[in-house]
Amino acid sequence: MDEVSQRPEISPSQGTGVDWAALEAAAVSAMKNAYAPYSKFAVGAAALTSDGRIVSGCNVENASYGLTLCAECSLVGNLHMTGGGLLRAFYCVDAGGNILMPCGRCRQLLYEFRAPDMELMTTQGIKTMDQVLPDAFGPQHLEEPR
């Protein structure tokens, strides 16, 4: 890893068929639309869907703070607004273009909409959803409707 930028060394697809550079660019572009007047902490996220689309989102703050939407929330909204599907790969950045890890709430949100073997770019390189949210609770644990 490059000591100066704290960015993992990766090739564009790193053998997974994911264009990580395109996801990074989409996350940076989304971050520029963030509404962060209170924290001044703009965040952008982008994901590759299982059908090859790139969806993105940015954080949208609220004066009550608790109603703030993380970038992952608007990304999932974008996913559903553009046809639904499952997320195959994910990338999140701050205003400086630094890689961010989703918070616990957002990891759970991403887990709900993940494709099998979904990957995330992390400060430590590419990891699977199972690595960043092991033993997760999901829809498969709920009782079948009667």
Residues acting as catalytic residues: 72
- Residues paired with residue 93 on neighbouring β-strands, in sequence order: 44, 99
Q: How far apart are CA 111 and CA 46, in angstroms?
A: 15
Strands (DSSP E) contained in 9-66 are: 43-49, 54-58
Closest CA to 101 of 92, 109, 110: 92
